[in-house]
A and B are shown apart, each in its own frame.
Chain A
């Protein structure tokens, strides 16, 4: 079995199972915990508050944009670039079609390049801030840096594999993605799934009181 066959075969299956089961275990584990009862008479609908919070916290509000502009902008650059790469990169579209039969129009090569640059710029600027800003330096831990590092590695090896110059580069990219998938459920990267519950629970609790912060 070649290295490429290993990364696209057994290791891929292991990574996929760990990622899927891990994410599901995390979410089910959290939601299975007791939800605190609250019999205070509501002023407004908690459900409406929860839904509002999910959307409200997509962008700065309450006059905070000027204070948080750097993080908001680079954060969006990274996340939008990453999703564009992940879902519309031609190799990813082909890979998804191979596995699921589903397909859609991929980005043209120039679009992929732009998306990559945007994602890289966002991630690098976020990581620089994590190291240099006294606040983020104080609160960051090993998990933050490992998560960022593995994401960076997956993106970087993806770029190397872009030219399809060798099986080796493709295999290295697969390996780096699999490492990220294996790490994901045990890390803060889980925020990609938990953010929706976090915002909803806060919005429901406050929405009941009449204002969603």
Chain B
């Protein structure tokens, strides 16, 4: 076996703790997880069965770390994956898994397959096995502060431009602020209106907030690519920025995995508790609404909401968006399935950044089109720029006639001006 394969396996088994061990050992190969996977749903290819995606890693665990691993090795029953197999498995670990966690819902054993895929990615990434384009954007994040090249200087320029263009106050590098707002570079480059919308809402509610060039990028391609060192750097930058302005609250913008990365794994990566509270923008909007700080004009368009997996199912903030929409969006209707069981957009988990995965990703959009059409909605909003970008890609490809938008933007558009 090649040195690289050995290193991947060594790395993988070194990460396996009690939780991962029970998950790796409890799979009974019932295959129900396929029924929850959007990649299987649109292809009916059994290779996309989530349990199968972990097969070489489960084998490596049985050979190296599981109880009786020595017995298996002695009897020649433990065939470890080689480098060729691991390379072949890139497609299953990276291109066709968005780590959406839907398969866990249906698993009789309750196996957290998404987390195991995350461990597998870390081991592959640490040894250079994985999609080059995804790795490149992760490295770019480390080098310049953002996966899309939004340097601190460019951030300042964009904020200046948006502030002038839209005549909105967008504080940057305030010395002190209660709230630090972060961005997703997808918004900066593709959906800048979202940044304006967030600023309008926070100003409307009278919040003491700022952006900081010390740490502004919430998108964490370190987490998505499995590059743990990059993931940590991205978290450290936000923490440093929040500490420098004395922020007690950090708001994650419309980005699903950024929320999971900071809110649920940030402290672990940092090695200490986060010195602030973390809210996704939908949670923060819901809080403002609850506190009577969000005055909205009614909106009667037929709209529906696409749940970003890392905010709803894997983030636990499913109800926040609905709380915001409740009473204000009178034409709101749920798609089916919805909420925690909603289908993924197909571009999460870094898949949107993997060029070769485009045909598969576009195929997944067929599910979303049907969900929206069945709901009768004309507009689908989401609270994740990555989902939005993926969905927009699908819309363009299929020349779909429905609108795709952002929750924070429709809220900003319906603010009652003082």
Partners in one complex: yes
Binding site for B on A (CB under 8 A): 22, 25-26, 29-41, 43-44, 53-54, 56-57, 60-64, 67-68, 71, 75, 130, 133-141, 144, 185-186, 188, 190-191, 194-195, 197-199, 201-203, 205-206, 208-211, 213
* Contact of A33 with B268 in the complex, beta carbons under 8 Å: no
Choose the segment among B32-40, B169-177, B195-203, B297-305 that binds chain A (4+ C-beta atoms closer than 8 Å): B32-40
B149 within 8 Å of A (CB atoms): no
Judge whether A202 and B29 touch: CB under 8 Å: no
Asked if B397 is at the interface (CB within 8 A of a chain A CB), the reply is no
The 8 Å CB contact of B104, one of A29, A41, A136, A213, is: A213
The listed residue with most A CB atoms (<10 A of its CB), out of B28, B111, B313, B337, is B28
Q: Which residues of A contact B35 (CB under 8 A)?
A: 64, 67-68
Given the complex of chains A and B, what is the CA–CA distance between A22 and B68 in angstroms? 9
**Contact among A31, A64, A136 with B31 in the assembled complex (CB-CB below 8 Å):** A136
Select from chain B the residue with minimum beta-carbon distance to A35: B18
Contact present for B265 and A141 (CB under 8 Å): no
C-alpha gap A152/B197 in the complex (Å)? 64
Interface residues on B, range: 35 or more
**Across the interface, do B106 and A68 meet the contact criterion of CB distance under 8 Å?**
yes
Say yes or no: B110 contacts A40, CB within 8 Å. no
Q: Complex: how many Å from CA A71 to CA B22?
A: 22
Contact of A30 among B18, B109, B315, B317 (CB under 8 A): B18
Selected from A32, A60, A71, A138, the residue in CB contact (under 8 A) with B47 is A138
Complex CA gap A189/B261 in Å reads: 35
B272 and A39 within 8 A (CB): yes
List of B residues within 8 angstroms of A185 by Cβ:
68
Q: What are 28 residue pairs bridging A and B, where the CB atoms are less than 8 Å apart in the complex?
A: A33-B65, A34-B18, A35-B19, A36-B19, A36-B268, A40-B265, A40-B267, A40-B268, A41-B267, A61-B105, A64-B32, A64-B106, A134-B44, A135-B31, A139-B52, A190-B25, A195-B109, A197-B22, A197-B26, A198-B22, A201-B18, A201-B19, A202-B23, A206-B112, A208-B264, A209-B315, A211-B312, A211-B340
- Report Cα–Cα, A128/B198, bound state, in Å: 56
Known: A39-B267, A201-B18. A26 touches B67 (CB 8 A): yes
B250-272 Cβ-contact flags toward A at 8 Å (1 or 0): 00000000000001111110001
A144 to B31, CA, bound (A): 12
Contact partners of B316 in chain A: CB under 8 A: 43-44, 206, 209-211
Tell which of A35, A43, A203, A211 touches B110, judged by Cβ atoms closer than 8 Å: A203
Check A135/B49 contact, CB under 8 A, given A35-B18, A194-B22. Answer: yes
A56 CA to B313 CA, complexed, in Å:
15
**Is residue B46 within 8 Å, beta carbon to beta carbon, of the partner chain?**
yes
Chain A residues whose C-beta falls within 8 Å of the C-beta of B205 in the assembled complex: none
What is the minimal beta-carbon distance from A208 to any residue of chain B, in angstroms? 8
Contacts of A194 in B (CB 8 A): 22, 25-26, 109
| A138-B47, A139-B51, A198-B23 known; A33+B16 contact, CB < 8 A | yes
B71 close to chain A: CB less than 8 A: yes
A188 in contact with B112 given A33-B17, A62-B341 (CB within 8 Å): no
Q: Is the CB of B67 within 8 A of A198?
A: no
**Separation of A60 and B104 alpha carbons in the complex (Å):** 11
Q: How far, in Å, is B230 (CB) from chain A's closest CB? A: 20
B52 to chain A, nearest CB (A): 5
Q: Which of chain B's residues 329-369 have a Cβ closer than 8 Å to chain A?
A: 337, 340-341
Q: Closest CB of chain B to A73's CB: distance in Å? A: 13
Chain A residues within an 8 Å CB radius of B36: 64
Q: Does chain A have a CB within 8 A of B325?
A: no
Known contacts A71-B32, A137-B46, A139-B52; decide if A210 and B317 are in contact (CB<8 Å). yes
Asked if B107 is at the interface (CB within 8 A of a chain A CB), the reply is: yes
| Known A139-B46, A206-B316; 16 more pairs at CB < 8 Å | A35-B17, A38-B267, A39-B272, A44-B316, A57-B107, A57-B109, A62-B340, A62-B341, A71-B30, A135-B40, A138-B49, A190-B26, A201-B22, A202-B111, A205-B112, A210-B315
- The reply to whether A213 and B266 contact each other, CB–CB distance below 8 Å, is no
Expressed in whole angstroms, the Cα–Cα distance for A194 and B199 within the complex equals 50
Is there an interface contact between B313 and A201, defined as CB atoms closer than 8 Å?
A: no
Least CB distance, B48 to chain A, in whole angstroms: 9
Q: Which of A32, A36, A136, A211 has the most CB of B within 10 A?
A: A211
Q: Does B101 contact A (CB under 8 A)?
A: yes
**Assuming A39-B267, A186-B71, A213-B104, is B31 touching A133 (CB within 8 A)?**
yes
B27 at the interface (CB under 8 A from A): yes
